[in-house]
A and B are shown apart, each in its own frame.
Chain A
Amino acid sequence: SQQGEEDPQALSIQEGENATMNCSYKTSINNLQWYRQNSGRGLVHLILIRSNEREKHSGRLRVTLDTSKKSSSLLITASRAADTASYFCATDAAGAQKLVFGQGTRLTINP
């Protein structure tokens, strides 16, 4: 299985601090995506990074990809209470027509 695995499973930090979540996967990919899910709601796409890219930024989000280690990280800087959610990585394997999601990291931002 090329399922992504997020680490840690849960993270609790103070507002204003940075939050880092990691994702590891097992097989070659075309791209890796990060999604956010507020409790009981649908997922919202955050950022997509292709296999030939190493880093992407979007506002307070920074994503890195290391294909040699088959890993990615999502950094949220200057966290806010509204960032409280679950964050999922999803991999798009070469030749596949689907995304495979990890179990997610539950992020809690304490005011």
Chain B
Amino acid sequence: ETGVTQTPRHLVMGMTNKKSLKCEQHLGHNAMYWYKQSAKKPLELMFVYSLEERVENNSVPSRFSPECPNSSHLFLHLHTLQPEDSALYLCASSQGPGTGGYEQYFGPGTRLTVT
């Protein structure tokens, strides 16, 4: 248990559905991240939030929409996804803004399948 929880753990959705992934950290951290992990590809950073402000958006398609209502919660809203978006989506948090030499704590991930 790393102190970062993600729900749901598994999600199957059609291309026309709208769903949301939720991440919560209980560590008092100031920065939160969304990553995408696909088979045979490096971990891809999607979004970074520092003190609830988005500081990084790695050219992610608009069908992925992040939301950070407070420093403990992070959402990833999904709509009209494509089959190639099927992946493990990982949330992480760290103590300081950005990385600043701080380790990141990861949640268990949401396994997303788009049909």
Closest-by-CB residue of A relative to B109 is A42
Q: How far is the CA of A30 from the CA of B42 in the complex (A)?
A: 21
The interface centre, meaning the residue of B4, B55, B97, B109 with most chain A CB atoms within 10 A of its CB, is B109
- Is B2 within 8 A of A96, CB to CB? no
Q: A residues engaging B (CB < 8 A)?
A: 3, 30-31, 33, 35, 40-45, 48, 50, 88, 92, 96-104
Q: B residues engaging A (CB < 8 A)?
A: 2, 4, 6, 33, 40-43, 45, 48, 50, 55-56, 88, 90, 92, 97-99, 101, 103-109, 111
24 A-B contacts (beta carbon < 8 Å): A30-B99, A33-B103, A40-B109, A41-B108, A41-B109, A42-B4, A42-B6, A42-B92, A42-B107, A42-B108, A43-B43, A43-B104, A45-B104, A48-B103, A97-B48, A97-B55, A97-B99, A98-B33, A99-B45, A99-B99, A100-B45, A101-B42, A103-B41, A104-B42
